[in-house]
């Protein structure tokens, strides 16, 4: 999907369908206002015992907020001020001199997407259309989970493991540092943060245990289903 097609897709989706909270929650800068730090979709202790309140406190209150503050400092008075967060990401992607804007804007988006990808009522197995598409794309839900864990643990250094949609098929992609599927025309459905700050207080170096806990107990399949619906 080309950049122009992606932008028209988001506009079309916004006009026709009820957008998942993530897409409206990530809008930043419209009308010259700053990028906002969206509220967490649940209390900071809601993902315990799998992700502690202490981890969420630092992750949301320091890291996520830090990216919001930085992108606002970087874009104030520039051509990036007053556009949506998604446009900011797409417009700065791969552009000379805009790397810091891209990194901080993408990290705002990625973290908001991550909070919404997890839920205290999550985990278990996907149902309905998500289950059907998953079986068609990976063979079975178990195969998806195995491949996802491999991608998440195989990502060297900091990054993200994503379930995305390309045309009608589901795919798993791992991105490094701040990189994000929307910069590549891929539609994100779910993400797990595999930067060390996401799990080190609770799991130390055991990234695999953290990813498996997220998949088994926290993945918000209802959010995935909402995101799939936007593409239809
Ligand atoms: Fe993070």
pLDDT tens-place string over residues 4-44:
344 333 433 332 223 344 454 444 444 456 899 999 999 99
Cα of 117 to ligand 1 centre, how many Å? 13
The pLDDT tens digits for 156-203 are 999 999 999 998 899 999 999 999 999 999 999 999 999 999 999 999
The CATH number of residue 59's host domain is 1.10.287.990
* Same-domain status, 203 and 168: yes
Q: Tally the domains of the chain.
A: 2
- CB 201 within 8 Å of CB 52: yes
* Nearest-angstrom CA–CA distance, 140 and 124: 14
The CATH number of residue 141's host domain is 3.55.40.20
Cα of 74 to ligand 1 centre, how many Å? 20
Cα of 15 to ligand 1 centre, how many Å? 31
Please tell me what DSSP assigns to residue 198.
G
For residue 123, being part of any structural domain is answered with no
* Nearest-angstrom CA–CA distance, 22 and 45: 21
Structure tokens at 79: 């051509």
* Same-domain status, 134 and 187: yes
* Same-domain status, 10 and 90: yes
Pairing verdict, β 159-166 and 169-176: antiparallel
Q: Which SS3 state, helix, strand or coil, does residue 117 take?
A: helix
Cα of 179 to ligand 1 centre, how many Å? 12
Q: What is the pLDDT of residue 231?
A: 53
Looking at 116, 138, 158, the residue that finishes a domain is: 116
Q: What is the pLDDT of residue 5?
A: 41
* Same-domain status, 111 and 138: no
- CB 138 within 8 Å of CB 119: no
Cα of 132 to ligand 1 centre, how many Å? 30
* Same-domain status, 167 and 105: no
* Same-domain status, 110 and 198: no
Structure tokens at 50: 């799998």
Which residues span the domain enclosing 99? 6-42+51-116
Q: CA 13, 64, 29: angle at the middle one, nearest 5?
A: 45
Share above pLDDT 70 across residues of the chain, in percent, rounded to a whole number: 85
Cα of 114 to ligand 1 centre, how many Å? 8
Q: What is the pLDDT of residue 21?
A: 45
For residue 122, being part of any structural domain is answered with no
* Same-domain status, 208 and 175: yes
Rg (CA), the chain: 17
Start-to-end CA distance of the chain, whole Å, equals: 15
For residue 221, being part of any structural domain is answered with yes
Please tell me what DSSP assigns to residue 163.
E
Looking at 65, 94, 116, the residue that finishes a domain is: 116
For residue 86, being part of any structural domain is answered with yes
Structure tokens at 24: 């409206």
């Amino acid at each position: 999907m080309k950049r122009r097609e992606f932008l028209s897709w988001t506009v079309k989706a916004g006009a026709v369908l009820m957008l998942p909270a993530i897409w409206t929650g990530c809008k930043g800068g419209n009308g010259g206002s700053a990028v906002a730090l969206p509220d967490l979709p649940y209390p900071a202790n809601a993902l315990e015992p799998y992700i502690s309140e202490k981890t969420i406190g630092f992750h949301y209150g320091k890291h996520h907020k830090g990216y919001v503050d930085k992108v606002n400092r970087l874009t104030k008075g520039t051509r990036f001020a007053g556009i949506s967060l998604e446009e900011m990401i797409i417009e700065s992607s791969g552009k000379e001199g805009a790397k810091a804007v891209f990194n901080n804007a993408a990290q705002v988006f990625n973290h908001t997407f991550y909070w919404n990808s997890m839920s205290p009522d999550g985990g278990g197995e996907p149902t309905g259309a998500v289950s059907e598409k998953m079986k068609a794309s990976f063979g079975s839900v178990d195969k998806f989970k195995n491949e996802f864990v491999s991608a998440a643990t195989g990502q060297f250094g900091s990054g993200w493991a994503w379930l995305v949609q390309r045309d009608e098929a589901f795919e798993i992609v791992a991105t490094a540092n701040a990189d994000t599927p929307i910069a590549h025309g891929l539609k994100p459905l779910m993400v797990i943060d595999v930067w060390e700050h996401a799990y080190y207080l609770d799991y130390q170096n055991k990234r695999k245990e953290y990813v498996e806990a997220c998949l088994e107990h926290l993945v918000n399949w209802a959010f995935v289903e909402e995101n799939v619906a936007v593409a239809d």
